[in-house]
């Protein structure tokens, strides 16, 4: 097995699931189990300035091995896995020379990874895949990125004949719960620009992502015995349903693709007296994004006009913005990535990400940070898998970026 695969298999067995609504940072202390391991491995590679700070950020420096000035480049990945599926007791398994058919993930439970459900897997015939046992996610998002960076750094250390400038490495917690760079010190990191290794299919080069907001809604009802409720009962759950139905039916994730934005109801709970809702709002276009937020405010105003002032409380909060706005003024960063891809035989596939990365916020914090592929698929669920060949290429891209920039 290659170094990058060994690292990946080691990392995914560590439970690093983050948590929404936590009062700590990181949101779960178990994320630090991987962070501490990475500190040990970086020190074993003799990197400088290896640090695990109070917020759970791991940073380190690979000094330049050339005498002329070069840009300082950062490579960043996140250690946490999504709260959407269990990350405990992950049991990765290799499927060598994949034949294109169904992959039995779990015999006892009859769980299959099938091309009839996930047709893109047919593109990996002949490759080695890493899959789950069907009871947890795999954690390629983003331990594939962590492994790619660590393996690339090891390659540069072990091959001093490869020229490179100063490289800064960063591993963050809590990306999956939208807090990955809440405390990240961009000036202290000291990179001129960076790349997050947090993408998916081979060749993907992403420098455009959603504008994002979250909405928390509280509905205050009036409960009465249903036999005596006429003209008195205000059922908070029904009001919540009425609010939801005011939003466009076809502006939901299940009806959208490419650069189409959406409203996504991620939770609804309650009873007659009180109901609570959470939404995420997404759009690549800033004007359309602002329009979606305005539409949600109008829906809230209508509900309060219909049921009484204060019935529905809406709290909107922007989460991140489209990095294109901050990356586009630096075309040399994207040109460097394109040259690195082509140097290893890949043609860049430039996509608008239907999501966000740490790089989205870092770009607005003064560190332009496009996103590169890692070779993972079906993130955040038990059908997640990784192409080993694509993971190796992701690590090679990092080495090529470092070499070409020197």
Together in a domain, 101 and 225: no
Q: Are 205 and 341 in contact (CB under 8 A)?
A: yes
Q: How far is CA 383 from CA 133, 140, 294, 394, in A?
A: 9, 11, 37, 21
| pLDDT > 90 in the chain, percent | 96
Last residue of a domain, which of 261, 289, 320? 320
Q: Looking at residue 244, which CATH number applies to its domain?
A: 3.30.70.360
Write the DSSP assignment of 344-364 as a string of letters: TT---EEEE-SS--HHHHHHH
Are 36 and 53 within one domain?
Answer: yes
Q: Which of 274, 290, 320 is the last residue of a domain?
A: 320
* Per-residue confidence band for 357, with pLDDT thresholds at 50, 70 and 90: confident
The answer to whether residues 246 and 270 belong to one domain is yes
Write the pLDDT tens digit of every residue in 92-131. 999 999 999 999 999 999 999 999 999 999 999 999 999 9
Asked whether the predicted pLDDT for residue 166 surpasses 60, the reply is yes
On whether both 264 and 283 belong to a single domain, the answer is: yes
Residues annotated as part of the active site: 80, 175
pLDDT, average across residues 157-168? 98
Give the pTM.
0.91
Continuous H helices in 59-217: 140-158, 186-189
Distances (CA, A) of 145 to 55, 110, 142, 390: 20, 30, 5, 11
User: 303 with 228, same domain?
Assistant: yes
Q: Are residues 203 and 215 part of one domain? A: no
Which residues span the domain enclosing 304?
211-320
75 and 201 co-located in one domain? yes
**pLDDT recorded at residue 21:** 86
CA 296, CA 308: separation in Å to the nearest integer? Answer: 17
Q: Are 209 and 355 in contact (CB under 8 A)?
A: yes
Domain harbouring 38, CATH code: 3.40.630.10
Instruction: Write the CB contacts of 308 (distance below 8 Å, at least 6 apart in sequence).
Output: 234
* Residue where a domain terminates, one of 320, 352, 386: 320
CA-CA-CA-CA dihedral for 227, 228, 231, 235, to nearest 10: -60
Q: What is the pLDDT of residue 2?
A: 65
Residues 241, 262, single domain; the answer is: yes
Helix-helix angle 140-158:388-405, to 10 degrees: 50
**Rounded (5°) CA angle 47-53-54:** 165
Q: Phi then psi for 86, rounded to 5 degrees?
A: -60, 140
Q: How far is CA 56 from the centre of its chain?
A: 17
70 and 88 together in one domain: yes
How far apart are the C-alpha atoms of 131 and 91, rounded to whole Å?
A: 8
**Residue 315 shares a structural domain with residue 331:** no
Residue count of the chain = 406
d(CA 316, CA 216): 7
pLDDT over 70 (residue 226): yes
Question: What residues does 59 pair with on adjacent strands?
Answer: 51, 170
Q: How many domains does the chain have?
A: 2
Residues 29 and 119 in one domain: yes
Interatomic CA distance for residues 370 and 367, integer angstroms: 10
| Neighbour count for residue 360 (Cβ, 10 Å) | 30
Helix runs in 226-330, H state only? 236-245, 286-307, 324-327
| Mean pLDDT (whole number) for 302-321 | 96
For 6-156, strand residue ranges (E) read 48-52, 58-62, 73-78, 93-95, 103-106, 111-113, 129-131
- Shared-domain flag, residues 15 and 151: yes
User: Phi and psi for 175 in degrees, rounded to 5?
Assistant: -65, -40
């Amino acid at each position: 097995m290659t170094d990058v695969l060994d690292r990946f298999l080691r990392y995914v067995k560590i439970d690093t699931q983050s948590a929404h609504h936590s009062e700590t940072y990181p949101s779960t202390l178990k994320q630090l189990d991987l962070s501490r391991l990475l500190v040990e491995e970086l020190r074993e590679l003799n990197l400088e300035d290896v640090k695990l700070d109070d917020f759970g950020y791991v940073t380190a420096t690979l000094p330049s091995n050339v005498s002329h000035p070069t840009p300082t480049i950062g490579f960043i990945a996140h250690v946490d896995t999504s709260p959407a599926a269990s990350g405990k007791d992950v049991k990765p398994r290799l499927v060598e020379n994949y034949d294109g058919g169904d992959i039995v993930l779990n015999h006892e439970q009859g769980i299959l990874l099938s091309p009839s459900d996930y047709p893109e897997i047919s593109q990996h015939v002949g490759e080695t895949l890493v899959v789950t046992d069907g009871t947890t996610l795999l954690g390629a998002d983003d331990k594939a990125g962590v492994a790619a960076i660590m393996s690339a750094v090891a390659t540069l250390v072990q091959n001093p004949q490869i020229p490179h400038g100063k490289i800064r490495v960063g591993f963050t917690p809590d990306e999956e719960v939208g807090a990955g760079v809440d405390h990240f010190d961009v000036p202290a990191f000291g990179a001129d620009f960076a790349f997050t290794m947090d993408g998916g299919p081979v060749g993907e080069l992403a420098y455009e992502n959603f504008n994002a907001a979250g909405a928390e809604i509280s509905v205050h009802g009036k409960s009465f015995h249903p036999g005596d409720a006429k003209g008195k009962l205000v059922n908070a759950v029904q009001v919540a349903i009425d609010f939801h139905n005011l939003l466009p039916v076809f502006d939901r994730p299940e009806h959208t693709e490419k650069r189409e934005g959406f409203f996504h109801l991620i939770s609804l709970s309650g009873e007659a007296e009180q109901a609570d809702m959470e939404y995420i709002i997404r759009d690549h276009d800033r004007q359309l994004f602002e329009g979606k937020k305005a539409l949600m405010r109008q829906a809230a105003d209508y509900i309060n006009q219909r049921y009484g002032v204060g019935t529905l409380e809406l709290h909107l909060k922007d989460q991140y913005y489209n990095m294109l706005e901050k990356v586009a003024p630096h075309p040399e960063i994207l040109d460097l990535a394109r040259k690195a891809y082509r140097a290893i035989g890949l043609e860049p596939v430039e996509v608008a990400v239907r999501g966000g990365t740490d790089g989205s916020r870092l770009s607005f914090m003064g560190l332009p940070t496009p996103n590169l592929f890692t070779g993972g698929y079906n993130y955040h669920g038990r059908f997640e898998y990784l192409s080993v060949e694509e993971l190796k290429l992701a690590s090679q891209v990092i080495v090529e970026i470092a070499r070409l920039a020197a």
